[in-house]
Amino acid sequence: AQSVAQPEDQVNVAEGNPLTVKCTYSVSGNPYLFWYVQYPNRGLQFLLKYITGDNLVKGSYGFEAEFNKSQTSFHLKKPSALVSDSALYFCAVRDMGANYGQNFVFGPGTRLSVLP
């Protein structure tokens, strides 16, 4: 079975400070990992993905994420937060070795608030 945990419901950070949104996953094989962002009354927007290769993945809007296989984590980071980054962030995983009876599993979401 595959699962995703986002241990923090809410993250508050001051504008200009670095931000981290945490994600841990569980799969039986190798993971596809994704981050999405959702603004109010909107669908999800793709930020970045990890499939293979470098553990540090760069994505849209200055976001990056670090894949850590030993800790089964894929934390989202940004060096300097903007007020406009305030939104709901979702981590998602799919087991590369899974059969087609499984699809992406999304975490519960973390609400990021960047305070001016």
Partner 1 sequence: KAGVTQTPRYLIKTRGQQVTLSCSPISGHRSVSWYQQTPGQGLQFLFEYFSETQRNKGNFPGRFSGRQFSNSRSEMNVSTLELGDSALYLCASSLATASSYNEQFFGPGTRLTVL
Residues paired with residue 35 on neighbouring β-strands, in sequence order: 48, 91
Q: Does 104 bind partner 1 (CB under 8 A)?
A: yes
Binding partner 1 (rule: CB under 8 A), the pick from 32, 63, 74, 89 is 32
Question: Ramachandran region of residue 66, left (φ > 0), alpha (ψ -120 to 50) or beta?
Answer: beta
To the nearest whole angstrom, how small is the minimum distance from the Cβ of residue 102 to partner 1?
A: 7
Q: What letters, b where the CB count within 10 A reaches 16 and e where it falls short, cover 42-73? A: eebeebbebeeeeeebebeeebbbbbeeeebb
User: Under rule CB under 8 A, which residues in 43-102 are in contact with partner 1?
Assistant: 43-46, 49, 90, 94, 100-102
To the nearest whole angstrom, how small is the minimum distance from the Cβ of residue 41 to partner 1?
A: 8
Binding site for partner 1 (CB under 8 A): 32, 34, 36, 41-46, 49, 90, 94, 100-109
